[in-house]
Structure formats: structure tokens, C-alpha cells
Amino acid sequence: MADLKEIFECTRCGYCCQGETTVSLDEKDQKRMVKALGLFEAEVREKYWRVTGTVVQMKVVDGHCIFYDEGCTVHLGRPWRCAEWPLHPSILTDSYNFETIRESCPGMNPEISYETFCRILREIMEKQDKVQC
């Protein structure tokens, strides 16, 4: 049976939470985050989100997502793109994507072959609608 730990185990290094922008939040993400924080949406919007037109992202503080503090402090309310990372479906279609993502995520098994990684990832994805790390 496929085991996520064979291909990935998060080291909580925080690399994917750094940078001058964050992933964007769709409507479901926004609702999930508001619920997880237990605040009114207006308060979450004011304190934690950067809204540009229709694009909602998380604020960046000191070069990282506002929720990053030696790990994700809004884990259950994080956007789906954060939950999916680094097991992006594009890995399955291009080994270059696999190598690029593996270079940026130390949680990905550094020893495993591309073919084995894809086989296990496919098995995991077949069991889940969306891979959650």
C-alpha cells in the first residue's frame, strides 16, 4: 500500500512559506481560514489578508507569510494550495517539474526515482480527491 512518507515528509523548514507573495485564496479557502481563526471575516481581512482587486493573498511579514512561525500557525485553515504542496499534479507530467520542486523542498525523498515517486503519488491521489500534506 502506498505510503506518503515514502515520497514526502515535511521538515517544517518553512521555505515554501517565504517570499514576497503568497498563494492566493479562493472562496472556500477564505471561509475555511475565517472559521479556523474564529474571527469575523472583516477582522481576518484587515489583519491577515492582502486584497488586490479580486485576488486575496496572505500578508507577508519579514519576508514570510504572516502565519509562519516555525511552522504554519493556521494549519487547519490553510489554503488548499498550501495543503497540496509539494505534491503538485504537474510532477506527474514532467520530470523537470519533479526535479525543480524537489530542489525547493527538502521534505521530498532525495533518493527516490522519478518513476517510483510518480507511481506512489498516483496511488495516493487515487485514494484522495486532493492530496493533503
Residue with cell 523542498: 105
Name residue 8's beta-bridge partners.
Answer: 108
Minimum CB separation of residue 95 from ligand SF4 in Å reads 19
Residues between 44 and 103 that touch ligand SF4 (CB under 6 A): 58, 65, 67-68, 72, 74, 78, 82, 85-86
Residue with cell 517539474: 97
Cα(31)–Cα(109) distance, rounded to whole angstroms?
Answer: 33
> Does position 37 bind ligand SF4 by CB under 6 A?
no
Cα(88)–Cα(76) distance, rounded to whole angstroms?
Answer: 19
Minimum CB separation of residue 42 from ligand SF4 in Å reads 20
Write out the residues near ligand SF4 by the rule CB under 6 A. Answer: 10-17, 22, 58, 65, 67-68, 72, 74, 78, 82, 85-86, 105-107
